[in-house]
Structure 1
């Protein structure tokens, strides 16, 4: 597999030299500073690519070209927004960046309620607490009709939990949920997120699926023509948030998406942690079923709770069998190599490492500190080496 590292550009707190020291050869990044509304130019792409190559690395994956809400909403603004997306895709592919990760989550991207949750080891982890999310949605944001989206007992627990929060704790919770996490598409204040949610009033899952289908029918042919591989990222978490539909959450969702435009260019990011955050998802079975369409892998894991809460586990210690998943991915690489494919390697990266050691007291991007990801990448390298020695 190709060992990669998420990097957020020249302002990232972890420099490219540290990514190389960690054992990565590829970089996963995007032009995060560019507005959603305009095309990424060849000059901008080449400048970022040159910066990465000067550090002895290569730009392996674009994560992500943002998919603005206009595309998810459909309607009058979708056509122009899809045109911008296709042009950025084409410019990336012509510059040799041909694996493109993206997501289709409406309004909010990946979401957590606690960015410094204390683990028994004293490491700090990212956590999604369902009770606290409900407390925010129902009692802080006060979204119209929110209470009806949750079980009465969950609402009762949320109201009780919120009573113990100071105003400062409520503000931190709000910032964690809506102010934007690294690589996310948008950052909101309270009124702005109310307005954004209202744009989707009345939208059902079937409507969002239809808009995703329309997007795929436009962009997949462009990718196929240019030799690019798209890799849709699962919803994170793979459940409805703020009453909004999410349609990249289950094996059935993935089956429908990959069948919508049945072309190798229409592929999947296998995010073990995102898919594993939902109790009825068997990530190993998903990896086996869709192996031929996995174009990118996020290798992290989670521990889940009965109410839908979860915490980022160490890379090898969550609910999914990372050893077995890596065997599937390595076997798929061997199959592609046997076909003579030049792109047989599947890029992967460690994700959402714990805050450990000196990083606990340093400014870091949540989930993207150096030492926790270095530890995860080392563990993954050990498994890959062991599987290779054993011949799968």
Structure 2
């Protein structure tokens, strides 16, 4: 397996000289400064690739080539957006970038309610609190029908939290929920979020699936022509958020995605944290089932609570059996004769990480610890 590191380019507080000291050989990067729906110009891709390669790395994976919200909603006309997307793909292929990670989560990317939840022995981690999310939906956004998505116990805890929450607490919650959007992409205020949710009004799970299938039918043939591998990132968390359906959360969902356009180029980013947050998912079994279509792996771990809350664990110490997962991934890549790129994901903020102002979930020391642990397991299994 090939060690890679997510780097946010000029937007990143970490320099490539620091990343080099982690031992990772490859970089995962994107042109986050380009607005969604616009073409990634070949010259800009070439300049970023030169920057990465000059520091001694390969640019192994694009994460992400984002999908415009109009495509997810199924608005018309979409042909210009699909044309721009295909042109970006062609420009990436022209510059030797062959693996594209993306997601089909409506409106929000990964979602957390706490960016610095304290850990027992020091440091902090990302956390998703079901009561805080319920409070956000019910009392801050004011989403009708949100009560139906939560248990009575979670609703009671949400009321209690909101009753004592200050305006600063509420502002921090909004900031945390918005922080999953990558790079320099604009965050939502409560008012702009309400308007964005209105645009999705009435969109069902079947509607979103139909729009996703159209995207695959428009894009995967071009990927085949260009020699590109696409790999969808699972939903994070693997549950509906803000009343928006999420459709890449389980083994059945992934099976549907891969069958929608049954081609090797239509593949999966195997994120052990996203899939591990769903208690029904058996991750080693999923690797065995979908291993031929896994093009990229995010390796992290979560610790789940009975109410649907969870937080980032250590890479080897959460609820998922990382050793069994890595054993299955090594078997899958061996069967295919490839070196599968992976990266340590969402580390704890440890020691002086808190002063570096890195992107939430992407500290230096916390991810370095995770990479070292994963490297050790892989070496032992190999």
TM over 0.5: yes
Asked whether the 8 Å contact 1:52–1:59 carries over to 2, the reply is yes
2:179–2:360: 8 Å Cα contact kept in structure 1? no
Corresponding position of 1:341: none
Aligned mates of 1:27, 1:77 — CA distance in 2: 35
Which residue of 2 is the match for residue 362 of structure 1? 356
Aligned mate of 1:382, from 354, 376, 381: 376
Q: 1:170: how far off?
A: 1.1
- Cα distance in 1 between the residues matched to 2:186 and 2:208: 19
Distance between the aligned counterparts of 1:121 and 1:181, measured in 2? Answer: 29
Matches within 5 A, 1:106-145: 106-145=106-145
Q: Spell out structure 1 runs of 4+ moving beyond 3 A.
A: 179-186
What is the DSSP-based 3-state SS (H/G/I as helix, E as strand, rest coil) of the residue aligned with 2:334? Answer: helix
Provide the aligned C-alpha RMSD in A. Answer: 1.3
Contact 2:114 2:127 in 1 (8 A): yes
Map residues 244-263 of structure 1 onto 2, 5 A cutoff.
244-263=244-263
The offset of 1:58, in angstroms, is 1.1
Q: CA deviation at 1:44?
A: 0.6
| Aligned equivalent of 2:211 | 211
Distance in 2 between residues matched to 1:3 and 1:303, nearest whole Å: 24
**C-alpha contact 1:71 1:77 (8 A) present in aligned 2:** no
TM-superposed deviation, 1:179: 5.2
Map Cα deviations across residues 60-86 of structure 1 (whole Å, 9 max, x no partner). 000001111101011314322222111
- The match for 2:10 is 10
1:351 to 339, 342, 345: 345
Aligned residues of 1:109 and 1:184 also touching (Cα < 8 A): no
Tell me, which stretches of 5 or more residues in structure 2 are unaligned? none
Q: CA deviation at 1:11?
A: 2.8
- The 1-side partners of 2:235 and 2:324 are apart by 23
Residue 183 of structure 1 deviates from its aligned partner by 4.5
Cα separation, partners in 2 of 1:5 and 1:81, compared to 1, 3 Å: same
Q: What is the rounded CA distance, in whole Å, between the counterparts of 1:303 and 1:200 in structure 2?
A: 31
Give the distance between the partners of 2:250 and 2:379, measured in 1 at CA: 30
Take 2:379 and 2:77, find their aligned partners in 1: how far apart are those partners? 49
Shift of 1:181: 4.1
Residue in 1 aligned with 2:72? 72
| Per-residue Cα deviation, 1:274-320 (whole angstroms, up to 9, x for no partner) | 00111111112111110000000000010001111000000111111
Secondary structure at the aligned position of 2:238 is classed as coil
- By how many angstroms is 1:238 displaced? 0.7
Asked whether the 8 Å contact 1:39–1:85 carries over to 2, the reply is: yes
- The offset of 1:327, in angstroms, is 1.1
TM-score, normalisation: structure 1: 0.95
- TM-superposed CA distance for 1:360, in Å, is 2.5
